A = this chain, B = another copy of it.
Amino acid sequence: MARTGRPREFDKEQTLERALELFWSRGYGATSIQDLVDALGVERGSLYAAFGDKRRFYLEAVRLYWEVYERHLITALDTSPLLPALREILTHPARLDELISDRGVPQGCLVGNTTAELVPQDSEATKIVTRSYRRFTDILAGALRRAQAAGEVTDTHPPEAQAQLLLYVVQGLSLVSRAGLDRTAALAAIDTAVDGLRA
């Protein structure tokens, strides 16, 4: 049983990654199926067969984006002292690598972009986005709690409030950076935020 048919000619995971790049740089609405066909080298019918309609395709890309980012976040923050790592995280919100760099244009955080474009109209997008924000604050609050206990971070405010504030900072930085990034000003702001947490 389960006769297997003709094998897929393209790598599904890799195609999703490339679609993610396109969706990330252009947004959901401004990326047409034709754009995807051209960029991915996969015909329309195959895309529909593999990923369902455009919306599902996009949401899948957002899921992948967050999955990668979350792994990065957990790894990076599992350290002591926390604040230098936190500073790193804050300087890399949009691109996992090069937000503050010369190459490439900052394109924000895909979760944040999705928030602006699809939320709250699209309920599934809202669920993904809400969940991502929740994970972010949970992970940060955990790290901050440990750092408070270690005396590295001030305990004048609860770690949850500090984590929520950092979510705003990251998302704000990601968004504003799309309009052009002044590295010096951004770094000064980040340092102000990080120093505000110091015990």
For A193, the closest partner residue in chain B by CB is B165
What B residues does A116 contact at CB under 8 A? 27, 108, 112-113, 115-117, 175, 178
* Contact indicator A161/B180 (Cβ below 8 Å): no
Q: Does A126 contact B (CB under 8 A)?
A: yes
By DSSP majority rule, is chain A's interface helix, strand, loop, or mixed?
helix
Give Cα A172–Cα B190 distance, bound, in whole angstroms.
14
* Residues in A lying within 8 Å of B, measured CB to CB: 26-27, 29-30, 105, 108, 112-113, 115-117, 119-121, 126, 129-130, 133, 156-158, 160-162, 164-165, 167-173, 175-176, 178-180, 185-186, 188-193, 195-197
Further pairs besides A172-B172, A172-B175: 19, Cβ < 8 Å:
A29-B117, A30-B121, A112-B116, A115-B176, A116-B175, A130-B180, A133-B176, A156-B195, A157-B191, A160-B188, A161-B185, A161-B191, A164-B185, A164-B189, A165-B192, A168-B176, A171-B176, A175-B175, A196-B197
